Every structure is written in C-alpha cells, then in structure tokens.
Amino acid sequence: MHHMQSGDDRESAYELFQRGSRMLADRHFGAAAVLLERALALEPGKASILEALGQAYFNQGDHLRAGERFGTIVDADPLAHYAHFGLGLSRARMGDASAARRHLRMAVLLKPENEAYQRALARLGDAA
C-alpha cells in the first residue's frame, strides 16, 4: 500500500480505470489506453482493465495490441465470451480468418443470445 504518499500523486488502479473508461466512452482512445495501462500496471491481469484496453486499442486500429489484451483474458478465463469476441474481431482485422472464426464461434457458443456475436461470425462465413 502507498499510504506514505500524499493524496494526489498516486492514483489508485480504480481511479485510473474510472478515468480511462470515461475517456473510452468519449472516444479518446489514445488517452484511455495511457490511463488504462497505468491501471493495469497496478493490477496486472485484471480482466475489466484488460477488456477496456482491448477496446481502446481496437478502436485506435491497433489490432495486434487489442488481440494481446483480449487474449490475456481468454488465457486466464476460457469462458470469457466478450474477450473471445474481441479477440475474434482483432484476428479478423489482422487477416487471420481461421483464428477469428474459432474465437467468434466460442463467443456464440458461450452466449448464443448475443446478436452482435452471431452477426460477426456470419460476416466471416462459418467455414472450417
């Protein structure tokens, strides 16, 4: 814990995550990524931070980094449907259709009622 430091010179992971999420919502993806990476450094492996980072990078067009963040979630929690979705979309943008299909199929399998997942898979075609 960092109780020795005065209040403002070290934000908590939660505060950084809140600010980063607001930046993400306001479509300031670069600023969001900076804040969220700082939050992740304080809370490594935290899925909510990784998910927001994946979104920020994806929306910036950095599909490699987005895929890495979503992939970290999937590795830790193979049932994280949104992370499979994000990873699938990232792989699709990088031209890896078979990996994209694999992750999008998993997202649909885990959450069959989600129409966004179904649409994303349909766009790729359901080839093997």
pLDDT category of residue 9 using cuts at 50, 70 and 90: low
6 pLDDT more than 90: no
Q: What pLDDT, in 10s, does the model give residues 97-114?
A: 999 999 999 999 999 999
Closest to 87 measured CA to CA, from 61, 111, 55: 55
For 71, phi then psi, to 5°, come to: -65, -35
pTM above 0.85, yes or no: yes
Q: Which pLDDT score, from 0 to 100, does residue 3 have?
A: 45
Mean pLDDT for 44-51 is: 97
CATH number of the 64-128 domain: 1.25.40.10
DSSP string, 4-24: TS-GGGS--HHHHHHHHHHHH
Q: Higher model confidence: residue 25 or residue 11?
A: 25
The pLDDT of residue 61 is above 90:
yes
Question: Coil, strand, or helix at residue 30?
Answer: helix
Cite the residue boundaries of each domain of the chain with CATH code 1.25.40.10.
64-128
Average pLDDT, the chain: 92
